[in-house]
A and B are shown apart, each in its own frame.
Chain A
Amino acid sequence: AQKVTQTQTSISVMEKTTVTMDCVYETQDSSYFLFWYKQTASGEIVFLIRQDSYKKENATVGHYSLNFQKPKSSIGLIITATQIEDSAVYFCAMREGNTGYQNFYFGKGTSLTVIP
């Protein structure tokens, strides 16, 4: 079963607007960590932002922020004032618990196109 699901395959938005990308996850662990990554057209995969499950405040980094809705097992990525260079594929990921190694589960990605 898919542990991390991104239902939006692709999204197009106008430049300088705000976009939200959805992600839902499944876990039985009381402690888990949620991540968003960006893959550019060149193929480079870059870490953007992280939310720890025990934190109530939504994480924010630059013009990226998260909408963490724990009861809904949802972690949305919000990009404000989108720029052309935000066009990319965005992956949501989850790591469970406090194991001595990391085991990440990735969603299949959402392709974002920012239109000038």
Chain B
Amino acid sequence: EAAVTQSPRNKVAVTGGKVTLSCNQTNNHNNMYWYRQDTGHGLRLIHYSYGAGSTEKGDIPDGYKASRPSQENFSLILELATPSQTSVYFCASGGWGGDQDTQYFGPGTRLLVL
């Protein structure tokens, strides 16, 4: 069974503060993703990675950085959080070919920036 975990599950941050969202997967998938979900916008891709040490910009990367130090871990970093970054953030991992050729999502992190 695919397993993607995120921490923290809920976070309250102050404007201008630094926020780090963490994601861990035990699927041994090469690909990992960060999305945000907002009402009316669906899932929007922020950053993705196709292996340890790689990060790529998605559709809405401004204000976000990503880090992939290992196969298992993928972090999303908000250096200077703003209220517009209040959202629900999902991490996902994905394999290549066969039954793993899809995305497995973590439970999400609710971020409130005051």
Contact with B along A76-116 (1 / 0, CB 8 A): 00000000000000010101000011111011110000000
Do A106 and B43 contact each other (CB < 8 Å), given the known contacts A35-B102, A44-B107, A45-B105? yes
24 A-B residue pairs with Cβ-Cβ distance under 8 Å, sorted by A, are A35-B102, A35-B103, A37-B105, A44-B105, A45-B92, A46-B105, A50-B102, A91-B42, A95-B101, A101-B31, A102-B31, A102-B33, A102-B48, A102-B94, A102-B96, A102-B101, A102-B103, A103-B48, A104-B45, A104-B103, A107-B42, A108-B40, A108-B41, A109-B42
A43 CB–B CB distance under 8 Å? yes
Instruction: Tell whether, in the assembled complex, residue B50 and residue A100 are in contact, meaning their CB atoms are under 8 Å apart.
Output: yes
Do A47 and B88 contact each other (CB < 8 Å), given the known contacts A101-B48, A102-B31, A108-B42? no
For the residues of A in contact with B, the DSSP-based class is strand
- Chain A residues with CB under 8 Å of B103's CB are 35, 37, 47, 93, 102, 104
A33 CB–B CB distance under 8 Å? yes
* B78 smallest CB distance to A (angstroms): 20
* A34 smallest CB distance to B (angstroms): 11
Total residues of chain A contacting the partner, CB 8 A: 21
Bound CA span A105–B105, Å? 15
Interface residue from A43, A103, A106 paired with B88 (Cβ < 8 Å): A43
Q: Which A residues between 24 and 69 are near B, CB-CB below 8 angstroms?
A: 33, 35, 37, 43-47, 50
Nearest chain-A residue to B50 (Cβ)? A101
- Chain A residues with CB under 8 Å of B43's CB are 91, 106
- Chain B residues with CB under 8 Å of A93's CB are 103
Give the one of A35, A37, A44, A106 with max B CB within 10 A: A106
